[in-house]
Chain A
Amino acid sequence: MTSGGPLAPSKGNAARAAVALPGWLWFPAALAFALIALPVVGLLLKADWPRIPELLLSSASVDALLLSLETAAVATTLCILLGGPLAVVLARGRLRGLRFLRSVVLLPLVLPPVVGGLALLYLLGRTGLVGKGIDLAFGVTIPFTTASVIIAQTFVALPFLVVSLEGAIRTAGERYEAIAATLGASPALAFRRVTVPLILPGLVSGSILAFARAMGEFGATITFAGSLQGVTQTLPLLVYQQREEDVDAAVTTSLLLVVVSVVVIAVARPRTVQGVA
């Protein structure tokens, strides 16, 4: 596995000879960067710093933060438990119509979240296809509960995990498992001792992406779960509500979300970026 030559990927930046970039490239690139960075700066400038501790410690804010962390964590776990096996099947399965299944899995990625929320409501609502049965059998109503927040988040975050994990599985290939088999490892053992460790980086980056998406989820949640403090009001929903009542509070809550996002990026880099590419 010795790879060399002038086009081999270099490990250190120091050794890399720069290839000149066309000059005009810098202008749109700078514009794109400004478009991403400046709004955050605007948020920082707009913040009413002396009031921040008070606003952050308000009950609505604390409730929303805790609810967001809790629901996003559960949603991420669900993504791993359900999306992991789905990614394995999509990458390795020998099934007719696998390509069609993959397009369906990508749906939440392109579908407006509000539409997703509405769809969930008609599936799991009291009169919905599945919700009716659940209501009759268990007397449980799903919409507008914390469970519905988790379901909405799982719905939108699932493709992030599946796509990045499937990529990792495809990149790893089946050669290592074949070797493991010739060494006497049963398929179950090979999966546990070889496949899982090999795709762990992809799983981690996929999980972080899914967590970030779940934290930021808004559209599907407000349609399917509503905005009830302490029950379904996550941070983004709180920002939306505060925006009309108290702009300073909305800005403060937004900053909180920015901090969470920055932490996620810090933890995920650079693997997340590679996982998606």
Chain B
Amino acid sequence: MTALDARVVVRRPAFTLDVTLSAAPGEVLAVLGPNGSGKSTLLAVLAGLLRPDGGYVRMGDETITDVEARVHVAAHRRGVGLLAQQPLLFPHLTALGNVAFGPRAHGVPRTEADARARELLKAVGTAELADRRPSQMSGGQQQRVALARALAPGPDLLLLDEPLAALDVDSAPAMRSLLRRVVRDRKQTALLVTHSALDALVLADRVVVLTAGSLVEQGPTRDVLGRPRSPFTARIAGLDLIPGIAGPDGLRTADGILVSGHAEGVDEGDPAVAVFPPSAVAVYASPPSGSPRNVLPVRLAAIEPRGDTVRLRAGTVDGGPSWVDGLAADVTPAAVADLAVEPGAELWFVVKATEVGIHAASS
């Protein structure tokens, strides 16, 4: 059984959006794509705020949109919640009033709705702001309250429209871990639209990549982001990922090797993934000395020219860790010439601990 099963066709002068996607109950699906790729249009159709030109949207066994059968369930009867980039809290209501709005609209009695709202405000860490108006809260606090409000009616599907994009650098990581806690860990079926590979990595089980109105890639988050196949994904993602368990100083891989890095919103012992950009990887022909660095033995699998830089793709060396397979290093053409290597050569990929982020991840 699927929680969401949809085909959405919207024709616009600039592009035609035509995507088919589905989500299992409790799954978080990330939709990645550049500006103008149709992400927001897709969300508007799912939310019922826009009528598509073709296709259908089914949730569970209920059809909420079917263009051919002329079915269009109004937005307020769909059970589809929305958390947008801007918090858009109702300015005339307190935090509590905002969160209780959804349950009240569903006919829940006031005391019960208020109790539910308080519970949710507590869950998002803003219990003490219950009586404040939006104008008396920071942007990060408003977005937390907006999340509580979106969850309050118990939506069957929660749409997250770049929920971190408008936050400053200080509040974004906290909001990201909060989303992970209250959306992913609680098995809230959700669709996350984002530009950020990191958001997708931390929050989503599966990723679809949308470019110019069509899906160009899809699959489990780590596969898609670790080995992008479309130019867009490669540009925004193309991150080096190493799975393992979060430890005190970094990440412990399955074979016991420690990858040093700084943890962000992950507890020790939890499944995690070490993330770093290929541009942070230095490549040596012989093992370098010097401490706060991760030194990974690899066999050069491929050399891919990418404009100004050259991407070196790693393979496994005999007896070495298997998880280095697929790691990438972006170096200058001059550096490649200095190394004088060819595929098959044994190399060392070196990454400073400060460049490595340790993030929570599934499984």
Contacts and interface: CB of A to CB of B under 8 A. Distances in A.
Interface string A189-202: 11001100110100
A182 B47 contact: yes
Interface string B60-97: 00000000000000111111111010111011100000
Contacts of B79: 184
B76 A2 contact: no
B105 A183 contact: yes
Interface stretch (A77-85, A124-132, A171-179, A203-211): A171-179
A10 interface: no
A134 interface: no
B54 interface: no
Nearest to B137: A1
B105 A184 contact: yes
Contacts of B81: 182-183
Nearest to B76: A181
The list of the 10 closest CB pairs from A to B, nearest first, reads A183-B102, A181-B75, A2-B139, A182-B82, A185-B105, A197-B92, A184-B105, A181-B76, A184-B106, A184-B153
Given A176-B88, A183-B76, 6 more contacts: A2-B139, A178-B75, A181-B47, A183-B101, A184-B105, A198-B90
B108 to A, nearest CB: 10
Contacts of B142: 1
Nearest to A179: B88
Interface of A: 1-2, 175-176, 178-187, 189-190, 193-194, 197-198, 200
Secondary structure class of chain B's binding surface, majority of residues: loop
Contacts of A184: 76-77, 79, 102, 105-106, 153
Contacts of B138: 2
23 contacts: A1-B86, A2-B168, A175-B86, A175-B88, A178-B75, A178-B82, A179-B84, A179-B90, A180-B101, A181-B48, A181-B76, A182-B49, A182-B75, A182-B78, A182-B80, A183-B81, A183-B102, A184-B105, A185-B76, A185-B101, A187-B76, A197-B92, A198-B91
B152 interface: yes
B150 interface: yes
B149 interface: yes
Interface in B92-122: 92, 101-102, 105-106
Contacts of B149: 183
Interface in B140-194: 142, 149-150, 152-153, 155, 159, 166, 168
A180 B105 contact: yes
Contact of B150 (A2, A175, A182): A182
Contacts of B84: 175, 179
A183 B152 contact: yes
B76 A1 contact: no
B139 A193 contact: no
B76 A198 contact: no
Contacts of A198: 90-92
B97 to A, nearest CB: 10
A225 B106 CA distance: 52
Contacts of B105: 180, 183-186, 189
Nearest to B143: A1
A172 B276 CA distance: 42
A184 B106 CA distance: 6
Contacts of A1: 86-87, 139, 142, 166
Contacts of A178: 47, 49, 75, 82
Contacts of B106: 184
Nearest to A184: B105
A183 B142 CA distance: 17
B104 to A, nearest CB: 8
A183 B74 contact: no
A181 B74 contact: yes
Which of the listed residues B48, B81, B105, B159 has the most CB atoms from chain A within 10 Å of its own CB?
B105
Contacts of B80: 182
Which of the listed residues A178, A181, A198 has the most CB atoms from chain B within 10 Å of its own CB?
A181
Contacts of B150: 182-183
A155 to B, nearest CB: 33
A190 B77 CA distance: 13
A182 to B, nearest CB: 4
A226 B100 CA distance: 55
B312 to A, nearest CB: 41
Nearest to B168: A2
Contacts of B75: 178, 181-182
